[in-house]
Amino acid sequence: MPPPFEATDTTTKGIRGSWMESVATQAAPADEKSGGFVRALGLFDSTMVVAGSMIGSGIFIVSADIARQVGSSGWLLVAWIVTGLLTVAAALSYGELAGMMPKAGGQYVYLRETYSPLWGFLYGWSFFLVIQSGTIAAVGVAFARFLGVMAPWIAPDNYIVKPVDLSTGYALSLSTQQLVGIAVIVFLTALNTRGIQLGKWIQNAFTSAKTLSLIALIALGLVLGSNAEAIRANFTDAWTPRGVDPIRPDFAFAATTAATAGAFGLVVALCVAQVGSLFSSDAWNNITFTAGEVKNPRRDIPLSLAMGTGLVTLLYVLANVAYLVTLPIDKIQHAPQDRVATAVLEVIFGPAGATIMAVAIVISSFGCNNGLILAGARVTYAMAQDGLFFKSTGKLNARHVPAVALGLQCVWSCLLVLPRTRTVDATGAATYGNLYSNLLDYVVFAVLIFYVLTIAGIFVLRRKRPDAERPYRAFGYPIVPALYIVAASLIMVVLLVYKTQTTWPGLLIVLTGIPVYLVWHRRRNERLA
């Protein structure tokens, strides 16, 4: 990999410091002949990485929780539209950074170059510990959960190792569901060590299949599922919340509220609802991590970000319209196990709908995890190239992929599958869930922190490097990026107050990276001395 912003790059224009000079001495080549990455991803492939990494199981499930929080069809659609606008706005802003810095590692590189190596490391550290690995674990569990519809022995309470209580709220176990989740992570990791061509083929095939499945769900809901009862229940009064869950703060100074409690309660409900919808729309930035393998990164990464996020946003909004014309809002709120899409297909096909939907979600989550696994290891690779992660993760195997980084990501993601939530009822009996919803909160909060910092970096770099080459400029600058920063910051504040128990660990994980960075930074300097 060539040093970021080396002197021959038009984006540097005199930007050289001790960090850049020292990194240049240990940089590896970036072409296939010299043992570096293979540039195998075209525009279609890159768009498939964006869309495929976004579409998992969330769109089929989380609308139930969002509906319980916002309480009406109109506000359910608004929640998804807000998510879509935030996602597309962020993607269009990232396009400018991707065009300026088409290097493996993507967002890690943007933060490093905008602020300092510390900020890049804090992102990479959080990315490895929870953002990417936590998402891979959650999607792996979702894969197993829906595979269990067709194979009932795959169940959360069919234990190989019974729960071992760690505290009143958490335990460790190994069920057949967890084992299958781990198995699919290991399997996809092994495939991706075989080279980018195989990973690309899997991604293209499964993203195409699940996109067509989502389109089919939308068409079936709008054409065959649409009924007068649901339309009347949902759209006669689309803006009055009903049947909502109260939103209780974790801070004593804040009051319990709900979407029915006026404008303030509605804003809080919409912000809390973004946890599910943003998680379902996340990972669109994964294509930036693979910039070293994109044929024309300055052109194709910005275009794929815009095309991929735009396509998925449209499909997500239409999917919710299909839900609303098929099911009254109360049936969306109380769909069995939150499987809203399954409930829609059961209206159309009867009991067979559950199996049809399970097959679609298994395909969707499989393809989603392939994209996450393929792209995620490129961040730790880039960190290792800078001397800020395990040295072995900064090497490519004979097939030009970071196999050790893939393996380490696999091990940690599998470990994150093992923890369980633990609740005790009035009789003292313990019930064990999974960390899916907790991982949503951990991931979304940590992700928003770095999205805000990265998009703010556009303003910083416009000032610090006005003459840098920018093949693409952020759409609507400065208004669109500024609106994103304000909206995302508001969501983070609300989550800190109302979801403190699950969001403060995300902040803590980010902060734990500071002492780790200092250790690695010192060791790196000692090696270069």
What pLDDT, on a 0 to 100 scale, did the predictor assign at position 40?
92
pTM recorded for the entire structure? 0.87
User: pLDDT at residue 26 above 80?
Assistant: no
pLDDT mean over 177-204: 95
**Beta-carbon-side half-sphere exposure of residue 430 (alpha carbons within 13 Å):** 16
What pLDDT, on a 0 to 100 scale, did the predictor assign at position 21?
35
Q: What is the pLDDT of residues 353-411, one digit of tens each?
A: 999 999 999 999 999 999 999 999 999 999 999 999 999 999 999 999 999 999 999 99
What pLDDT, on a 0 to 100 scale, did the predictor assign at position 505?
77
What pLDDT, on a 0 to 100 scale, did the predictor assign at position 436?
55
- Tell me the two tokens of residue 368: 């989603």
> Model confidence at 430, in pLDDT bands (50, 70, 90)?
confident
What pLDDT, on a 0 to 100 scale, did the predictor assign at position 440?
58
- Give the strand order in the sheet containing 419-424: 159-165, 170-175, 419-424, 430-434
Pick the closest to residue 451 from 90, 85, 82, 80 (CA basis).
90
**Beta-carbon-side half-sphere exposure of residue 147 (alpha carbons within 13 Å):** 22
> Model confidence at 57, in pLDDT bands (50, 70, 90)?
confident
> In the block, which residue shows the tokens 């556009």?
458
Q: What is the pLDDT of residues 72-82, one digit of tens each?
A: 999 999 999 99
- Mean pLDDT, the chain, as a whole number? 87
Identify the bridge partners of residue 257 per DSSP, sorted by sequence position.
247
CB 46 within 8 A of CB 304: yes
Q: Which range is least confidently modeled, 20-34, 95-109, 273-287, 434-448?
A: 20-34
Identify the bridge partners of residue 422 per DSSP, sorted by sequence position.
432
CA 227 and chain centroid, separation: 34
What pLDDT, on a 0 to 100 scale, did the predictor assign at position 207?
93
User: pLDDT at residue 337 above 50?
Assistant: yes
> Model confidence at 16, in pLDDT bands (50, 70, 90)?
very low
Q: What is the pLDDT of residues 225-266, one digit of tens each?
A: 999 999 999 999 999 999 999 988 877 777 888 888 889 999
User: pLDDT at residue 34 above 60?
Assistant: no
Burial tier of 3 (Cβ tally within 10 Å: 0-12, 13-18, 19+):
buried
Identify the bridge partners of residue 174 per DSSP, sorted by sequence position.
161
User: pLDDT at residue 427 above 90?
Assistant: no
Q: What is the pLDDT of residues 291-313, one digit of tens each?
A: 999 999 999 999 999 999 999 99
> Model confidence at 478, in pLDDT bands (50, 70, 90)?
very high
User: pLDDT at residue 27 above 60?
Assistant: no
Pick the closest to residue 43 from 175, 200, 187, 272 (CA basis).
200
- Tell me the two tokens of residue 63: 């609308």
**Beta-carbon-side half-sphere exposure of residue 459 (alpha carbons within 13 Å):** 13
What pLDDT, on a 0 to 100 scale, did the predictor assign at position 192?
95
> Model confidence at 438, in pLDDT bands (50, 70, 90)?
low
Q: What is the pLDDT of residues 35-51, one digit of tens each?
A: 588 999 999 999 999 99
Question: What distance separates the 2 farthest-apart alpha carbons in the chain?
Answer: 75
Q: What is the pLDDT of residues 209-221, one digit of tens each?
A: 999 999 999 999 9
CB 175 within 8 A of CB 420: no
DSSP 183-203: HHHHHHHHHHTT-HHHHHHHH
DSSP 331-375: HHHT-GGG-HHHHHHHHHHTTHHHHHHHHHHHHHHHHHHHHHHHH
* Whole-number Cα distances in Å, 455 to 108, 270, 438: 13, 22, 26
> Model confidence at 486, in pLDDT bands (50, 70, 90)?
very high
* Number of continuous H segments (helices) and E segments (strands) in the chain: 20, 4
Rounded CA separation 177/148 (Å): 7
| Percent of the chain whose predicted confidence (pLDDT) is above 70 | 91
Protein fold of 38-528: Amino acid/polyamine transporter I (1.20.1740)
Rounded CA separation 187/168 (Å): 34
Q: Which long-range contacts (CB under 8 A, 24 or more apart) does 172-180 make?
A: 172/418, 172/419, 172/420, 173/418, 173/420, 173/432, 174/418, 177/141, 177/144, 177/145, 177/148, 178/141, 178/144, 178/417, 178/418, 179/144, 180/143, 180/144, 180/147, 180/148, 180/154
Rounded CA separation 215/313 (Å): 12
Eight-state DSSP code of residue 293? G
User: pLDDT at residue 101 above 70?
Assistant: yes
